[in-house]
């Protein structure tokens, strides 16, 4: 990294809640937020936003006639973006950049419009403009009234952290000194659930902990899908109001052997972690927030990659997917949020059904991992 980057605000919406106090409170207990939801052809385990937060989204949707036709993925992004820039005290005239990604985009609307097309043999007027991938960032830019660059992309489940990489690159280039980055995912739909079940990676039974993320002894895949949006405010330099600072970024892509898998020892993660660490000694990393999707191969391969990089002198390891599911593009940003909360509160959050680990006496540096289909790995090193 060429410049120190400060994170001056974060805002998220997930099954854990929509305010930092509530989210941290929900991290402090051993409860998960996975429930059963009825779909057209099945009932599946999912992690949904709360009824209270759903009412807030509905209120936002009704606040502007143009917003009534937007997908939840866009509305979620509007909701968290407004809160983040207020916390960071950004103004529209700052002309900050926006990079918000999504793995699936306007999933619900796309399925609805396609179903209508098959039944009625014609497409609705708004079926194209409200389902494009660029829909999320462009509407957020409209809502916040900023003239800065607006970028959307999809790099599967590492999309959110790729947005962070892009924001860092823009700031390092000198083309912008502020960037709003993150992701939004509202993919709890019939077809998406069917797709995940077809991959044979989805949790089938409601147990005490349906998603066994970071349980390296599990015999069955246990991924659970969640919905969420999360954004970060990035600024150049060491800011007095920084809630965390980015001191390392890394990325890597593996050569595909299978459409959905990474290598046995997650070569992509080894490379991304080593790049993010840079000159930082490995014994200075106090914790790692793992990607750990709850699948057998995914969890074990990442763990083996960590063993390789840290020479079996492992930092404290944790993940949050057992609580709030896998939120696709947003998952990496929610992991980063957990890291920020642990830095702020000087307390690590453990996974209740894993082997006990010794909690670090202090939390100074945390590494965050994310990866998507195709081995698109990203690692970010944070400090207070």
Q: Per residue in 195-248, pLDDT tens?
A: 999 999 999 988 999 999 999 999 999 999 999 999 999 999 999 999 999 999
Residue 64 DSSP class:
S
Q: How far is CA 269 from CA 46, 113, 153, 166, in A?
A: 27, 38, 21, 19
Contact 189, 107 (CB under 8 A): yes
**Tokens read off for 275:** 């790049």
Average pLDDT of the residues of the chain: 95
pLDDT digits (tens, 9 = 90+) for 322-332: 999 999 999 99
Confidence of residue 254 (pLDDT cuts 50, 70, 90): confident
Contact 76, 231 (CB under 8 A): no
Above 90 in pLDDT, residue 271? yes
pLDDT digits (tens, 9 = 90+) for 277-308: 999 999 999 999 999 999 999 999 999 999 99
Contact 97, 163 (CB under 8 A): no
Work out the percent of the chain whose per-residue pLDDT is above 70. Answer: 98
Given this chain, do its domains 5-236 and 244-383 carry the same CATH topology?
yes
Q: How far apart are CA 34 and CA 14, in angstroms?
A: 11
Confidence of residue 261 (pLDDT cuts 50, 70, 90): low
Architecture of domain 244-383: 3-Layer(aba) Sandwich (3.40)
Q: How far apart are CA 182 and CA 101, in angstroms?
A: 6
CA angle 114, 120, 123 (to 5 degrees): 50
Backbone phi, psi, residue 71, to 5°: -75, 155
Above 60 in pLDDT, residue 9? yes
Contact 29, 209 (CB under 8 A): no
Q: How far apart are CA 106 and CA 191, in angstroms?
A: 13
Q: What pLDDT does 257 receive?
A: 64
Assigned fold of 5-236: Peroxisomal Thiolase; Chain A, domain 1 (3.40.47)
Q: What pLDDT does 342 receive?
A: 98
Q: What pLDDT does 133 receive?
A: 84
Q: What is the pTM of this model?
A: 0.96
Q: How far apart are CA 231 and CA 95, in angstroms?
A: 17
**Tokens read off for 26:** 């929900």
Q: What pLDDT does 264 receive?
A: 85
Q: What pLDDT does 175 receive?
A: 93
Confidence of residue 51 (pLDDT cuts 50, 70, 90): very high
Q: What pLDDT does 119 receive?
A: 93
- The domain limits of the chain are 5-236, 244-383
Please state the rounded mean pLDDT for residues 24-40.
97
Confidence of residue 258 (pLDDT cuts 50, 70, 90): low
Please state the rounded mean pLDDT for residues 54-79.
97
- Among residues 241, 224, 244, the alpha carbon closest in space to that of 336 is found at 244
pLDDT digits (tens, 9 = 90+) for 82-96: 999 999 999 989 989
pLDDT digits (tens, 9 = 90+) for 348-369: 999 999 878 999 999 999 999 9
Confidence of residue 110 (pLDDT cuts 50, 70, 90): very high
pLDDT digits (tens, 9 = 90+) for 148-198: 899 999 999 999 999 999 999 999 999 999 999 999 999 999 999 999 999
């Amino acid at each position: 990294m060429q410049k120190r980057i400060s994170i001056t605000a974060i805002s998220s919406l997930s099954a854990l809640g929509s305010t930092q106090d509530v989210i941290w409170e929900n991290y402090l207990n051993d409860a998960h937020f996975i429930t059963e939801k009825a779909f057209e052809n099945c009932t599946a385990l999912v992690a949904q936003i709360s009824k209270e937060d759903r009412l807030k989204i509905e209120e936002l949707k009704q606040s502007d006639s143009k917003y009534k036709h937007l997908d939840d993925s866009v509305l979620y992004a509007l909701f968290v973006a407004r809160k983040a820039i207020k916390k960071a005290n950004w103004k529209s005239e700052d002309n900050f950049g926006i990079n918000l990604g999504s793995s699936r985009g306007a999933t619900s609307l796309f399925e609805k419009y396609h179903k209508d097309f098959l039944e009625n043999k014609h497409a609705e007027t708004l079926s194209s403009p409200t389902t494009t991938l660029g829909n999320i960032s462009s509407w957020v830019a409209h809502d916040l009234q900023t003239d800065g660059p607006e970028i959307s992309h999809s790099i599967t489940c590492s999309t959110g952290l790729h947005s962070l990489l892009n924001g860092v690159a823009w700031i390092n280039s000198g083309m912008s000194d502020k960037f709003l980055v993150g992701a939004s995912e509202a993919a709890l739909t019939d077809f998406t659930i069917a797709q995940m079940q077809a991959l044979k990676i989805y949790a089938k039974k409601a147990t005490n902990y349906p998603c066994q993320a970071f349980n390296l002894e599990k015999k069955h895949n246990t991924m659970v899908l969640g919905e969420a949006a999360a954004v970060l405010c990035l600024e150049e330099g060491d800011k007095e109001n920084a809630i965390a600072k980015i001191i390392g970024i890394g990325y890597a892509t593996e050569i595909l052997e299978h459409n959905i898998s990474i290598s046995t020892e997650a070569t992509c993660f080894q490379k991304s972690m080593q790049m993010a660490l840079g000159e930082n000694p490995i014994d200075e990393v106090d914790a790692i927030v793992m990607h750990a999707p709850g699948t057998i191969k995914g969890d074990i391969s990442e763990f083996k990659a960590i063993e390789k990089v840290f020479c079996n002198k492992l930092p404290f390891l944790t993940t949050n997917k057992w609580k709030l599911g896998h939120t696709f593009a947003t998952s990496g940003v929610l992991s980063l949020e957990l890291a920020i909360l642990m830095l702020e509160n000087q307390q690590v959050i453990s996974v209740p059904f894993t082997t006990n680990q010794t909690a670090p006496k202090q939390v100074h540096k945390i590494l965050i991992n994310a990866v998507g289909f195709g081995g698109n790995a990203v690692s970010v090193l944070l400090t207070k």
